[in-house]
A and B are shown apart, each in its own frame.
Chain A
């Protein structure tokens, strides 16, 4: 009977996997639980309440966090939109335009923001703005975000485009569609899941960035992460836990959406799409 054991199974691997998930989720779950703590002390449990959520929305610092949230969402939406457009064009160039000069170099350039350590990008961008005398503010954050959003938007978009054969566009062109019509009416609709997925990932990445934003933000401009960091340096307070829990839920919602967008229309084919 020991002749044919299940070779896929290793004893203890399930336990390690569960441990792994436990390690990943335990801190988040605990912060979420403590955000409902009624006690002003963060370590003692004083019953369940929503008072810290009230504090976030209507408390003294509500204005500050509201402004930061608006900045964060504005920048994320603008950066993700721009990066998605650029990435879609780039993916079309890389996967649909045959060979051209600089094509192999281009992939390296697009993935460069992923390879350069974040702190280096932050420093370089700060020095750049300072050297050209560009006053830091919302715009400087936006520019920096567009740069590092491009590869995150590109990867799911390119993965999707690779999975779509070009026969449809060829057929359209055989029927006298212009290149632009073939792109807009054939390729783009087929690409939608990849584009949505790329946009959402870029959005989340922008929303989450702390290090680069912290370096290039201007006077009086905060995003949620920099505002949270500023507050948390003086101690982890219950209202920070409430904000964190809210942000956590936003992130999870977006990843779930992205996940389903990536799977959309994928049922007929088994191409791996959108899973980075």
Chain B
């Protein structure tokens, strides 16, 4: 995905002057059907919830107040910090973080291995890694659920093989969610690291080896610092979608321990029917993601400067 931005490539001028006209449809569509909706959603987060669902056009901070402050069961106690939603966000960050780590631990060696293959077999390996990504996320999540459930094929085989005495209980645990997220976004980790390793100059490794650096030292002191941009890009590509995931917590986590995605979904599709609160939670999620992306972009600029 790198290099396709406005700075990438030589600015050809065949159609100079037509630029605004050609870009207009993209502007209009994304402007009207994504930017404007996000602005309206921001507005909704400041509206009043109607009893039994729906909104009243009266400005209020109630949604954000509900998010950050606990006023007791009856709404008349001294406000305390409301930890539960912060905890849901924290849990999401934690789950997404662990999933990212899992992706990194498996994704880095994989990316390295593929990038060091001969050119013609590289594309085949890459293709094999990317194919599952294009398979419907829902179907992948269902497959994972089927595989790991207590009476699922994995446990049955392990039981039949005599390796375990009773089923390994994974479904409806945090581990199941992490596995699901890992499985959903692994290719996002492999591809950027692969791209970075492919550009890696192996003379650096040789120089390190000449100076009697062990393999491990070369890896941690030389290779990883050089391919770090790829690693960071991969982590962001896994972390960001994991943060707002809905299917993995819903289908694999038993919908008990909420993550941000399920919390938001519940406000709109579920019984809660609290649109302003859902909009506020979505705004907070969006702000978090944008902060991560901005920090990332800043660092990119600094490093390339």
Contact = CB atoms under 8 A, between A and B. Distances in A.
Contact of A107 (B6, B21, B116): B6
A123 B279 contact: yes
A273 to B, nearest CB: 11
Given A124-B34, A143-B33, A275-B126, A23 B183 contact: yes
A259 B41 contact: no
A65 interface: no
A96 B269 contact: no
**Interface size of A as a range:** 35 or more
A276 B106 CA distance: 20
B214 to A, nearest CB: 11
A182 interface: yes
A130 to B, nearest CB: 8
Given A7-B202, A123-B268, A95 B12 contact: yes
A47 interface: no
A128 B110 CA distance: 42
Given A118-B241, A211-B247, A30 B147 contact: yes
B36 to A, nearest CB: 7
Contact of A28 (B25, B129, B132): B132
Contact of A166 (B14, B37, B44): B14
Interface in A101-151: 101-104, 106-107, 109-110, 112-113, 115-121, 123-128, 131, 143-144, 146-147, 150
Interface stretch (B62-70, B73-81, B225-233, B281-289): B281-289
A86 B12 contact: no
Contact of A10 (B8, B140, B215): B215
Contact of B30 (A112, A210, A215): A112
Interface string B245-282: 01100010000000011001100110000010011001
Contacts of A14: 113
Given A106-B26, A118-B244, A43 B156 contact: yes
B171 to A, nearest CB: 12
Point out which of B38, B106, B251 has the most chain A C-beta atoms below 10 A from its C-beta. B38
Contact of A92 (B11, B22, B38, B147): B22
Nearest to A182: B14
Nearest to A232: B142
B40 A124 contact: yes
Main secondary structure of the interface of A (DSSP, over half): helix
B12 A27 contact: no
Contacts of B8: 162
A252 B137 CA distance: 13
Contacts of B5: 107
Contacts of A183: 15
Interface in A146-201: 146-147, 150, 154-155, 158-159, 162, 165-166, 169-170, 173, 179, 182-183, 187
Nearest to A129: B37
Contacts of B31: 109
Contacts of A99: 11, 19
**Most central of A12, A17, A125 by chain B CB within 10 Å:** A17
Contacts of A158: 4
Nearest to A104: B6
A17 B26 CA distance: 39
B128 A13 contact: no
The 5 closest A-B pairs by CB, nearest first: A117-B244, A97-B19, A128-B37, A27-B143, A93-B22
13 contacts: A8-B205, A85-B25, A94-B6, A96-B14, A97-B14, A112-B34, A118-B246, A119-B264, A119-B265, A121-B34, A127-B275, A150-B29, A244-B136
Given A120-B41, A146-B29, A169-B14, 11 more contacts: A23-B182, A27-B143, A42-B146, A86-B26, A92-B15, A112-B34, A127-B44, A147-B34, A214-B269, A244-B142, A248-B136
